[in-house]
Amino acid sequence: MVNDAVAYAESQRERFLAELKELLSIPSVSTLPENKADSERAAQWLADHFAAIGLDNARVNPTEGQPIVTADWLKAGPDKPTVLIYGHYDVQPVDPIELWDSDPFKPEVRDGYLYGRGTSDDKGQMFIHAKALESLMRSTGRLPVNVKLIIEGEEEMGGPHLDGFIIEHQAGLKADVAVISDSHMLRPDQPCITYGLRGMTYLQIELTGPSRDLHSGQYGGAIYNPIQALCEMLASLKDHDGHITIPGFYDRVRPIDEAERKVLAASPFSEEDFKLEAGVPSLWGEKGYTTLEQITARPTLEINGIWGGFTAEGSKTVLPAKAYAKISCRLVADQDHHAIADLLEAHIRKIAPPQVSVNFKRLHGGQGALIDRNSPYMRTAAKALEQVFGNPPVFTRDGGSIPVVATFQTVLGIDTLLLGFGLSDDNLHSPNERFFLPNFYNGIQAMIRFLSEVGK
Amino acid sequence: MVNDAVAYAESQRERFLAELKELLSIPSVSTLPENKADSERAAQWLADHFAAIGLDNARVNPTEGQPIVTADWLKAGPDKPTVLIYGHYDVQPVDPIELWDSDPFKPEVRDGYLYGRGTSDDKGQMFIHAKALESLMRSTGRLPVNVKLIIEGEEEMGGPHLDGFIIEHQAGLKADVAVISDSHMLRPDQPCITYGLRGMTYLQIELTGPSRDLHSGQYGGAIYNPIQALCEMLASLKDHDGHITIPGFYDRVRPIDEAERKVLAASPFSEEDFKLEAGVPSLWGEKGYTTLEQITARPTLEINGIWGGFTAEGSKTVLPAKAYAKISCRLVADQDHHAIADLLEAHIRKIAPPQVSVNFKRLHGGQGALIDRNSPYMRTAAKALEQVFGNPPVFTRDGGSIPVVATFQTVLGIDTLLLGFGLSDDNLHSPNERFFLPNFYNGIQAMIRFLSEVGK
């Protein structure tokens, strides 16, 4: 049964790729209002596709934002486990567009990589599951386990409607384990299972100084420039050792114990490669932690954007009324994103000079998660990955945020297997996003093996 | 002769205003390439107008940028002084356009003010001279003095081609005194002669951290974010007392002596009004100096713009490759703008962390100037202003920059009378720029009186 499904998948490579390209060509950027219709188009495309490969109840569920696509196949019988597969069909904006070597929405293969927005994050990885299910279904007429799919369209904007949907449909989404492929491997031959994810809180700060833009020659020197205030405030949020200075910020951070430090240190993470991929002369982070710990097991604060005053070409001698920044913190267990946003706002209000006023917009938040590294599902997944990629997976934490993992834990009471098939140089959220094509095909095979083993 | 000219000016108020509105409706924004044709249109309009009011040699002189308009009338005879009148026909950009209550290029009168871009800075003030000359010419058939006009179109971008033009045409521009109306009075009944102007250096800073935009979840925590570096560097350029921390910055600053402190303290400057006009809860500036000293007689450093990372709506979890700022210093005698730009660049390079690289663009520079408060021309101007406005003028320094004053001093060897007819709440460089109309008419009368007296 496994072999038939794998053989089917091998024989259909070209068609699978063509179908993925079709999905990738829909610019379903969730954060841009002008792409709303595209999101709906992508959702409908997926629902149609799920029905076409033999799944039941394929449906586009409207939300107040982008729709959520669901489907299932529950004919394996009540004695078989139910696997819940999550993915997302929305993608990041493509700016700066001029740095792309090819059209982000006209996917093309170059040197074994598929280039385009969403190739790795997450359309390409999500599509692995569709193709594994199709291969099993077409070659054997059935699936070895019960399956439920939930594919959202707002992951890149923090999934504002996903939690509500899961709570509302909690009975229908009942499952034994969840699987998500939205993370990455360490090398093409080194699979990786992520057991920790960071949470996040993302704020926009608006500072107001004078009530209108002023002439810097007439007023400069006697007014607290809000850009200056913003710079001073943001600069003060970290000390020289890279520690975040917000009182209480670290209070609930679960320390990294010695056992875990060893697991992380054993991961074949290369600082040199990381530096090369980032294109920086040297690294800089929180003192007392390795780079891998800094980017996965420690909370961070990054300024994601800043703007104010005159930013066009040339020189305007303005002393602006407003200055803005977008900042986000990656959080680790057991930091609560609401509590951290509260701390952050309170601290920023406190350090603001009396000459400026502060306003906040909370743009999104999600909880982090830590998953049991030793569950039976985890062991089965590890075996499937080893069979396909030739090496047993490394267990690691990921620096990114997949808030639904925490939701699955708290609402459905299930753990999630984070089986990532991306690579760390996939240029997620950047120009020239890509997906290493052998991982697409190997991922399909690994999922065929995993589902078959779980259904035994 | 004076009375005839004044009577003529009074009788022509409506036409004068209509003509000014016509000039104001040409969007001659010098810093925006898309308005290039408008600048040329404004220049041609002015040259035609100068010819129409009886001046000779009215000419649009092309430069590599926006043209310079010149005209003269030299028939008063060699025993009469020659007055050189400077102004500028270019205007600032209008952003943020949504804060304007009326179209910036459809000037309209509301409550005694003429609203529109350029009404005060400087089309309206410059036009005072054209109308004073017309009134003298039409009522008496001649002018009491020889006159030369030079009206540029690049003042708002630092006049990159003006100095070269003045040097090249230095023989033709020979004069005894220059007059510029591009500053402001203290109140509608309180004229003001500016004897000090600040210089300026304006730089753009470009910081590069990673070689591309990174995902803040994958890289955040181990990379020196260039926005953070920029904030830290900019925040460090002033200390808690508002002193600029760049080594050597104050070395050549001419101290304010006791006599001058008294002149400035005697000026009816109202801190309360200043605060209200700026719309701030409290003021903030360099310790040890009064507000008026801070904004006129002391050098400053202001951040005019900042940008980097994701600045659109929503949340993108990016750790950006680049961060930018525009900063400018207002300079006082005897600071040299080239030397200060050098100091600034060297200091910023020095404080940049090794993980980022720095690039600069020098966007413009101009020297400051101090003018003899006790020259005969100064006394004649003071008398003319007192006759029209009812109060003797206050002598003050202006915080803004009119670099041509230094050029007139060094190239032509003449002092400049800065006879400003704006008001401090004219919203220069801001939305709803306006010009107090009685000052337009009184300014014409004052110039008729001044030129007549000088020609006696």
Catalytic residue, chosen from A38, A90, A134, A293, is A90
Report pLDDT for B346: 98
The chain B residue lying nearest A31, using CA atoms, is: B314
Active site positions of B, annotated: 90, 155
- Sign of the Cα torsion B418, B420, B424, B430 reads negative
Half-sphere exposure of A260 (CA within 13 A, CB side): 19
Q: Which residues of B fall within a CB distance of 8 Å from A323?
A: 306
Mutant choice from B200, B318, B337 vs A, greatest count of A C-beta within 10 A: B318
Quote the CA–CA distance of B217 and B220 in Å, as a whole number.
Answer: 6
Report pLDDT for B190: 92
Length of chain B in terms of residues written = 456
Report pLDDT for A217: 87
To the nearest whole angstrom, how far is the Cα of B124 from the nearest Cα of chain A?
18
Mutant choice from A101, A194, A201, A218 vs B, greatest count of B C-beta within 10 A: A218
Contact across the interface for B315 and A304, Cβ inside 8 Å: yes
- Indicate the pairing of strand B300-309 with strand B322-331: antiparallel
pLDDT-above-90 percentage for chain B? 87
What is the band of A201 on the pLDDT scale with cuts at 50, 70, 90? very high
To the nearest whole angstrom, how far is the Cα of A198 from the nearest Cα of chain B?
8
Helix (H, G, I), strand (E, B) or coil at B418: strand
Report pLDDT for B107: 98
To the nearest whole angstrom, how far is the Cα of B388 from the nearest Cα of chain A?
26
Quote the CA–CA distance of A89 and A121 in Å, as a whole number.
Answer: 9
Residue A402 has pLDDT above 90, yes or no: no
What is the band of A163 on the pLDDT scale with cuts at 50, 70, 90? very high
Nearest to A385 by CA among B91, B48, A377, B202: A377
The chain A residue lying nearest B95, using CA atoms, is: A310
What is the band of A366 on the pLDDT scale with cuts at 50, 70, 90? confident
Does the active-site annotation cover A34?
no
B383: burial class by Cβ within 10 Å (0-12, 13-18, 19+)?
middle
- Write the CB contacts of A342 (distance below 8 Å, at least 6 apart in sequence): none
Q: Which residues of A fall within a CB distance of 8 Å from B363?
A: 314-315
Quote the CA–CA distance of A413 and B247 in Å, as a whole number.
Answer: 62
Beta strands in B311-350 (DSSP E): 318-319, 322-331
Quote the CA–CA distance of A186 and A434 in Å, as a whole number.
Answer: 15
Give A93-107 pLDDT, tens digit per residue. 999 899 999 999 999
Contact across the interface for A223 and B278, Cβ inside 8 Å: yes
Q: Which residues of B fall within a CB distance of 8 Å from A221?
A: 285-286, 294-295, 298, 300, 302, 330, 399
| B211, B221, B291 ranked by CB distance to A285: nearest | B221
Q: Across the A/B interface, how many CB contacts are shorter than 8 Å?
A: 336
Contact across the interface for A234 and B231, Cβ inside 8 Å: yes
The chain A residue lying nearest B217, using CA atoms, is: A400
- Write the CB contacts of B93 (distance below 8 Å, at least 6 apart in sequence): A310, A312, A316, B29, B31, B32
Q: What is the mean pLDDT of residues A61-72?
A: 97
For the entire predicted model, the pTM comes to 0.74
Full set of structural domains in chain A with CATH: 2-197+368-454 (3.40.630.10), 199-260+295-365 (3.30.70.360)
Residue B401 has pLDDT above 80, yes or no: no
Q: What is the mean pLDDT of residues A242-268?
A: 92
Give B167-193 pLDDT, tens digit per residue. 999 999 999 999 999 988 988 999 999
Residue A1 has pLDDT above 80, yes or no: no
- Alpha-helix runs per DSSP H in A13-122: 13-24, 36-52
| B204, B213, B363 ranked by CB distance to A430: nearest | B213
Instruction: Count other C-beta atoms under 10 Å from residue A112's C-beta.
Output: 11
Contact across the interface for A298 and B221, Cβ inside 8 Å: yes
* Four-point Cα dihedral A111, A113, A116, A122, nearest 10: 180
Mean pLDDT of chain A: 95
What is the band of B374 on the pLDDT scale with cuts at 50, 70, 90? confident
The chain B residue lying nearest A30, using CA atoms, is: B314
Residue B312 has pLDDT above 90, yes or no: yes
Q: What is the mean pLDDT of residues A271-284?
A: 95
Q: In angstroms, what CA-CA distances link B394 with A340, B340, B369?
A: 56, 31, 18
